[in-house]
């Protein structure tokens, strides 16, 4: 009998990182794996991100809600799942400030439901888990809180896996809670899981509510570029495919029960990112493209700061490097060019996701800022 193909249950696979991860996995493993993409298709989920894998025999899409036990357990009843990669979440900090409850529901209850259903499927009568099964919970560096900017002559501080949790936004608090539930499963049941805490991702298919795609989109339309506060908050940017690679490597080589931080030491102030985007747009737009006329530094507009805005994030990726052998492949200069190019070449995708509800969101979030 032929070997069974390793079967992945990917939650939130129609979102930004989930869809890039699915592309990464099919590029790497082709027909050696089966991927079941389980997604509720909220405003952030978009099957167009996966149109090129739709026809594969080893790709299955299931519409479902991670907070719904019936939805999740029916997938485990139907398929023999070997790997769970749990991306599904509400992911935007600004939305969490306006409407925290859905973040608690999806991120906390959703993770608990995923863990419960997975445990039901994988735990044996003697309490042990079926050999070889693994669950990876995709989390964020925001659970660690906010770092200071280093003063002159001072060594900068970083987030390590041992840094105490200190979340500030409803989003990061909900992700921190979900991490604790995963840790509780590991400690209580010996549940076969890992947690990854990654820094800010950028790349193709990111919804234009997040800094980089929002600035690209607004600049091309000649709209104001809203900079929160003084624009000097620092984020540590990682190309999304390097995150996908890190998840795969932790899944296959990580020590069970461990947490791994993922980041590429690429700290930039928001205002620097915006300048880089404007420069890259001018470099890539051909002279005859009328959108060039819109792109200008004069669009930069300082607006009221985000409530509770974390000052600086910076990951120490030492552990994933030494224990798992992960390192990023794409430097920021290359990654941002690839990203801006993708948005220039995929205007239809952008137009689709920015029609309808997006306009309402933008109005509510930015009109009185």
State which residue, 79 or 366, has the beta carbon closest to ligand DAU: 366
CB of 209 to ligand DAU, least distance (A): 6
Q: Residue 363: how many CB atoms within 10 A of its CB?
A: 10
Q: Which of residues 309-328 bind ligand DAU (CB under 6 A)?
A: 313
Site mask for ligand DAU (CB under 6 A), range 140-159, x = bound: xxx-----------------
Nearer to ligand NAD, 119 or 210 (CB): 210
| Cα distance between residue 105 and residue 65, in whole Å | 11
Pick what 106 binds: ligand NAD, ligand DAU, none; C-beta below 5 to 8 Å, kind-dependent: ligand NAD
Instruction: Classify residue 158 as exposed, middle or buried by CB count within 10 Å of its CB (0-12, 13-18, 19+).
Output: buried
Interaction of residue 86 with ligand DAU, rule CB under 6 A: no
Distance CA 284, CA 142 (A): 33
Q: Output the 3-class SS for 294-353.
A: CCCHHHEEEECCCCCCCCECCECCHHHHHHHCCCCCCCHHHHHHHHHHHHHHCHHHHHHH
Cα dist from 218 to 6, 208, 215, 273, 294, whole Å: 42, 9, 5, 14, 9
* Shortest Å, Cβ 174 to ligand NAD: 9
Q: Rule CB under 6 A: choose which of 96, 200, 259, 330 binds ligand DAU.
A: 200
The interaxial angle of helices 69-78 and 110-122, nearest 10 deg, is 30
Parallel, antiparallel, or unpaired for β 267-269 and 234-239?
A: antiparallel
Q: Name which of ligand DAU, ligand NAD, none residue 211 binds, using a CB cut-off of 5 to 8 Å depending on partner kind.
A: ligand DAU
Among 87, 158, 313, 332, binds ligand NAD (CB under 6 A): 87
Least distance in angstroms from the C-beta of 142 to ligand DAU: 5
Note whether 195 and 250 are within 8 A (CB): no
270 binds ligand DAU (CB under 6 A): yes
Q: Is 167 in the site for ligand NAD (CB under 6 A)?
A: no
Q: How far is the C-alpha of 208 from the C-alpha of 206, rounded, in Å?
A: 6
> Which residues have CB under 8 Å from 261's CB, separation 6+?
141, 159, 160, 161, 196, 197, 198, 315, 316, 317, 319, 320
For the window 183-202, what string marks contact with ligand NAD as x by the rule CB under 6 A? ---------------x-xx-
Q: Just list the catalytic residues.
A: 141-142, 171
Q: Does 91 bind ligand NAD (CB under 6 A)?
A: yes
Nearer residue to ligand NAD within complex by CB, 79 or 302: 79
114 interacts with, out of ligand DAU, ligand NAD, none, CB within 5 to 8 A per kind: none
Residues forming contacts to ligand NAD in the complex (CB under 6 A) are 11-12, 14-18, 39-42, 44-45, 65-67, 87-89, 91, 106, 110, 138, 140, 175, 198, 200-201, 207
């Amino acid at each position: 009998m032929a070997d069974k193909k390793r079967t992945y249950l990917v939650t939130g696979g129609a979102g930004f990182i989930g869809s890039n991860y699915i592309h990464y996995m099919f590029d790497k493993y082709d027909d050696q794996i089966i991927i079941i993409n389980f997604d509720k298709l909220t405003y952030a989920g978009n099957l167009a991100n996966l149109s090129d894998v739709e026809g594969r025999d080893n790709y299955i899409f299931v519409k479902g809600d991670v907070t719904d036990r019936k939805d999740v357990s029916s997938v485990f009843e139907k398929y023999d799942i070997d790997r769970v990669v749990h991306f599904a979440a509400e992911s935007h900090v600004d939305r969490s400030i306006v409407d925290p409850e859905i973040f608690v529901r999806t991120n906390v209850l959703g993770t608990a439901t995923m863990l419960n259903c997975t445990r039901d499927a994988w735990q044996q009568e003697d309490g042990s888990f079926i050999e070889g099964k693994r669950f990876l919970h995709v989390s964020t560096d925001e659970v660690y809180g906010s770092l200071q900017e280093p003063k002159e002559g001072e060594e900068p501080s970083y987030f390590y896996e041992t840094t105490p949790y200190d979340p500030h936004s409803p989003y990061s608090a909900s992700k921190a809670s979900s991490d604790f539930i995963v840790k509780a499963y590991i400690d209580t049941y010996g549940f076969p899981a890992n947690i990854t805490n990654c820094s800010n991702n950028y790349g193709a298919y990111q919804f234009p509510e997040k800094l980089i795609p929002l600035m690209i989109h607004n600049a091309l339309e000649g709209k104001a570029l809203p900079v929160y506060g003084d624009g000097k908050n620092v984020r540590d940017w990682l190309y999304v495919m390097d995150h996908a690679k890190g998840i795969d490597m932790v899944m296959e080589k990580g020590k069970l029960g461990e947490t791994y931080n993922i980041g590429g030491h690429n700290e930039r102030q928001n205002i620097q990112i915006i300048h880089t985007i404007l420069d890259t747009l001018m470099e890539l737009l051909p002279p005859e493209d009328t959108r060039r006329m819109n792109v200008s530094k004069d669009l930069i507009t300082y607006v009221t700061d985000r409530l509770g805005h974390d000052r600086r994030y910076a990951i120490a990726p030492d552990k994933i490097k030494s224990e798992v052998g992960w390192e990023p492949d794409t430097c920021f200069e290359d990654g941002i060019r690839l990203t801006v190019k993708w948005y220039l070449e995929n205007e239809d995708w952008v137009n689709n996701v920015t029609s309808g509800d997006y306009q309402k969101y933008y109005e509510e979030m930015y009109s009185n800022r």
